């Protein structure tokens, strides 16, 4: 039973992966990518890695695919198509991927893995957290801290890249309140000054008429 489900899931996984890299429409590619990620989460569920499956669905499907869809919406019209790849690129891509696939699978099918068969263990989230924040043997505190720094740097730099160079420096400078009041007063005065010659002209005209 497990085997049937696994082979079905992996066949669907490979088909949706191939469609992701071959379809010419943006939205279809994004939806096929979403299907691939969800099916990968299904394989994690089958291997009893529930926590990582949930993380995969939340971050990849809920975060990255939605981000990609947003960027597609911002940079292209709906229903737009990508250009077809050049023959040279197509040929080299096919060559590299097929050769890599055959060489890699030849290498690891010839190797005998010492698999250990155990019953289904239920992995506690608490033990994951304990190992993640442990500084003793097999603890992962240093990579954890580095990842937090990396996330901070990524957030700052993406904001800087996306916003930068579009605000003019005059908009950033804010004059103090007294200066703006002075400017308003000057404007009012100049308006009055403008009014005076106009009224004088009118006076002149009326004088001429007289």
Partner 1 sequence: MFGVPISHVLIVSTALFFIGAYGFLTRTHLIMVLMSMELMLNSTCLNFIIFNKYLFPGTQDGLLFTLFIITIAAAEAAIAIAIILNLYRNFQSVSPEETTTLKY
Q: State which of positions 143-172 bind partner 1 (CB under 8 A).
A: 143, 147, 150-151, 154-155, 157-159, 161-162
Distances (CA, A) of 182 to 140, 174, 178, 193: 61, 14, 6, 16
Pick between residue 132 and residue 202 the one whose CB is nearest to partner 1.
132
Contact call for residue 125 and partner 1 (CB under 8 A): no
Q: Is 206 left (phi over 0), alpha (psi -120 to 50) or beta?
A: alpha
Tell me which stretch binds partner 1 (CB under 8 A): 109-117, 170-178, 185-193, 197-205: 109-117
Contact between 44 and 17 (Cβ < 8 Å): no
Contact call for residue 56 and partner 1 (CB under 8 A): yes
In whole angstroms, the minimum distance from the beta carbon of 173 to partner 1 comes to: 24
Pick between residue 108 and residue 209 the one whose CB is nearest to partner 1.
108
Contact call for residue 20 and partner 1 (CB under 8 A): yes
Tell me which stretch binds partner 1 (CB under 8 A): 36-44, 173-181, 187-195, 196-204: 36-44
Tokens matching residue 33: 């990518």
Of 45, 48, 47, give the one whose Cα is nearest residue 56. 45
Tell me which stretch binds partner 1 (CB under 8 A): 83-91, 170-178, 185-193, 200-208: 83-91
Which of 77, 108, 126, 209 binds partner 1 (CB under 8 A)? It is 108
Which of 92, 189, 193, 199 binds partner 1 (CB under 8 A)? It is 92
- Residues of span 171-190 touching partner 1 by CB under 8 A: none
Helices (H), 76-135: 87-110, 125-132
In whole angstroms, the minimum distance from the beta carbon of 8 to partner 1 comes to: 12
DSSP helix/strand/coil, 81:
strand
* Separation CA 30–CA 26 (nearest Å): 6
In whole angstroms, the minimum distance from the beta carbon of 206 to partner 1 comes to: 58
**C-alpha of 139 from chain center:** 30
* Separation CA 36–CA 16 (nearest Å): 6
* Separation CA 26–CA 76 (nearest Å): 9
């Amino acid at each position: 039973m497990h085997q049937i489900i696994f082979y079905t899931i992996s066949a669907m996984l490979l088909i949706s992966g191939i469609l992701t890299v071959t379809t010419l429409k943006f939205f279809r590619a994004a939806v096929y990518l979403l299907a691939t990620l969800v099916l990968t989460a299904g394989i994690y569920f089958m291997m009893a890695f529930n926590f990582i499956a949930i993380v995969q669905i939340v971050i990849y499907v809920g975060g990255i695919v939605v981000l990609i869809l947003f960027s597609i919406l911002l940079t292209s019209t709906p229903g737009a198509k990508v250009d077809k790849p050049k023959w040279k690129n197509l040929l080299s891509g096919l060559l590299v991927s097929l050769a890599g696939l055959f060489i890699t699978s030849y290498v690891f099918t010839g190797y005998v893995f010492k698999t250990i068969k155990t019953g289904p263990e239920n992995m506690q989230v608490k033990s994951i957290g304990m190992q993640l924040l442990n500084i003793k043997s097999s603890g992962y505190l240093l990579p954890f801290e580095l990842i937090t720094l990396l996330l901070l740097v990524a957030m700052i730099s993406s904001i800087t890249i996306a916003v930068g160079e579009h605000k003019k420096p005059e908009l950033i400078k804010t004059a103090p309140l007294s200066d703006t009041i002075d400017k308003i007063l000057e404007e009012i005065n100049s308006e009055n000054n403008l009014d005076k010659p106009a009224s004088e002209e009118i006076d002149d005209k009326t004088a001429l008429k007289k």
